[in-house]
Amino acid sequence: MRVQMLGLCRFSYVGLRGFQIDHASYEERRALLYDPARLRRRWLWFSEVALPAWRAQTDPDFTLVVMTGPDLPEPWLSRLKALSAEIPQLRLALVPPMKWHLPACRAAIAPHVDPRADVIGHFRHDDDDAVAIDYIASARADFGHVEALWRAEGRLALDHSRGLMLRLQEGGVQLTPRICHNMGVALTVFLRPEAQESALNYDHSKIGLWMPGVAITRPLMFIRSIHADSDSGSMGQGVPWPVEPAELDDLLWQRFRLRREGLEQLGRALA
């Protein structure tokens, strides 16, 4: 069975709806998203937290569509173009501002649907979060264990729910181990290839309304960043899982290709 893994990452896309922070006009939204200091912060999150593990995926057979507007200011637009040329799995989608968010997301994703696929594993990825280096491999393999459940309904949510909540604080890094279900990051929505929906069509916090779900609670699979620029600054419900501080530092590298020292440097740069 051919399983395509297809993701969408929105990078300061100037569209209305689809976000917890809403605006009445494109001008208001553009003023927030294109603020030079904010764009600099978002780029640091994206390049220093999100990208290392995408570069190091143990299964390179995936597509991550980075969606932004054609008027994204420089140098950020040129940097995204350079990344899409450098990293084979990245595709840059320049989508003009649209009133309705879901059609905009569909416009970004549709050209990259593989017509040979039997099933598509859709995922969303925020530009300040990270998935583990084996997320693609694990999602594809774990789907094989629950394929029959997907066949019964044509929809299935596979939730890799063991993660770390990341806060950068003055003088250090706070990492909170949590098992949180359906956070959005490392959540794969398996759909038939002819479906017009993607992961963005379903509110991840209520995804059980539309499809069955399976939670995979180990190994550690995601980092979710919480900071002032987050669309949602809440840690959400969850349960802690035990880990020693020294082991946690090792896991940062083993699972995400991140170092605590690098995160501390990022915190100083963002400050």
Whose structure tokens read 């997301």? 105
Q: Given a cut of 60, is residue 160 above it in pLDDT?
A: yes
3-12, 24-33, 55-64, 195-204: lowest mean pLDDT where?
Answer: 24-33
Q: Write down the pLDDT at residue 58.
A: 98
Average pLDDT over residues 61-87: 97
Q: Give the pLDDT confidence score for residue 270 in this predicted structure.
A: 86
The predicted pLDDT at position 235 comes to: 65
pLDDT (tens digit, 9 = 90+) per residue, 42-65?
A: 999 999 999 999 999 999 999 999
Comparing CA positions, the residue from 20, 14, 19, 50 lying closest to residue 32 is: 14
Whether 68 contacts 94, CB under 8 Å = yes
Per-residue pLDDT tens digits for 132-158: 999 999 999 999 999 999 999 999 999
Per DSSP, which regions of the chain are E strands? 3-10, 63-68, 90-94, 119-124, 130-131, 155-160, 162-169, 172-179, 187-191, 213-216, 222-225, 239-240
Domain boundaries, the chain: 3-270
Q: What pLDDT does 173 receive? A: 86
User: What's the pLDDT score for residue 24?
Assistant: 57
**Cβ-proximal residues to 225 (8 Å cutoff; 6+ apart), any chain:** 45, 49, 126, 128, 129, 166, 167
| pLDDT value of residue 21 | 58
Residue 187 has pLDDT above 90, yes or no: yes
Q: For residues 47, 52, 56 and 61, what is the CA-based torsion angle, rounded to 10 degrees? A: -40
Q: Tell me the C-alpha to C-alpha distance, in Å, between residue 218 and each of 50, 142, 204, 222, 225.
A: 20, 12, 19, 11, 19
**Tokens matching residue 175:** 């990492």
**Is the pLDDT assigned to residue 231 strictly greater than 60?**
no
pLDDT of residue 232 exceeding 80, the answer is no
- CATH architecture of the domain covering 3-270: Alpha-Beta Complex (3.90)
Band of pLDDT at residue 221, cut at 50, 70 and 90: very high
